[in-house]
Amino acid sequence: MNAPSLFTLTSISGQFGSRTLILSSAKRDDVWYAAVTNENGRLMACSFSGSRKVAEKSTISSLPSDLRRGLTRSAGGSEVIEELHRIYAGMGVNHPPEVAPMAVSEFLRRVYEMAIRIPKGKVTTYGRLAKAVGSKGASRAVGNAMARNPLPLIVPCHRVVRSTLQIGSYGSERNGRSRTKRELLMREGVQFDRDRISQSCVWDPF
């Protein structure tokens, strides 16, 4: 099951409906996951790392600056954390998280919605994704959007790679994250030919 395709971000350009935000974090295996949800349980930002501090900091920094203070810390994990771990482990999800409306540009909305459509076990390139959202030649802007993705794993930015089919960097952290990206893809069934992804695993959005 390709979990992210089960929901959309059609309301991503709306306004935040709740100011009561809850930060939860938990460790599963060797990975720390962090998530911020609103009082209705809708996901607003998330991240993961080998460090709790890094996961939480990355999650909080994805929020608009006026929402970063006064977060309520959850006493434990959350259903969202469990679903993030399932995606990370290549298992898919049982209950796709509901995503809260986000105030982003029209370009980012289109990019993130298209990225959600990339099937598990497949990848596409920054250039193909740019063309698919009507911005041919904007592959660098797509790369920047992936690096700033506030919902990694949910919006599967790890499935977007270079035109050479080399995986490239992953997120804003450079050190060691390319290996993380490769491992994520391999768990999802993506095949590699040395340092490049097999052409058979490339998804064309057209």
Domain membership of residue 102 (yes or no) is no
With b meaning 16 or more CB within 10 Å and e meaning fewer, what string describes 174-189? Answer: eeebeebbbebbeebe
Q: What is the DSSP code string of 94-125?
A: SSPPPBPP----HHHHHHHHHHHTSPTT-BEE
Instruction: Supply 79's token pair.
Output: 């259903």
Residues recognised as catalytic:
157
Give the Cα separation of 55 and 53 in Å (integer).
6
CA 44 from centre of chain: 12
Q: Given the structure tokens 């930002």, which residue do they identify?
A: 45
pLDDT band at 172, cuts 50/70/90? Answer: low
Domain membership of residue 142 (yes or no) is yes
Q: What was the pLDDT predicted at 14? A: 40
Among the candidates 88, 121, 148, a domain finishes at 88
Average pLDDT across the chain, whole number: 87
Q: Residues 126, 191: one domain?
A: yes
Domain membership of residue 59 (yes or no) is yes
> What are the pLDDT digits (tens) for 22-73?
999 999 999 999 999 998 889 999 999 999 999 999 999 999 888 898 899 9
Q: Residues 143, 181: one domain?
A: yes
Domain membership of residue 129 (yes or no) is yes
Q: Residues 112, 53: one domain?
A: no
Mean pLDDT of 132-159: 94
Q: Residues 115, 190: one domain?
A: yes
Q: How far is CA 72 from CA 6, 30, 49, 68, 69, in A?
A: 29, 25, 21, 11, 9
Whole-prediction pTM value?
A: 0.87
Domain membership of residue 5 (yes or no) is no
Structural domain including 115 reads 108-201
CATH number of the domain where residue 148 is located: 1.10.10.10
pLDDT band at 104, cuts 50/70/90? Answer: confident
Q: What amino acid occupies position 196?
A: R
Q: Residues 116, 80: one domain?
A: no
Q: What was the pLDDT predicted at 168? A: 86
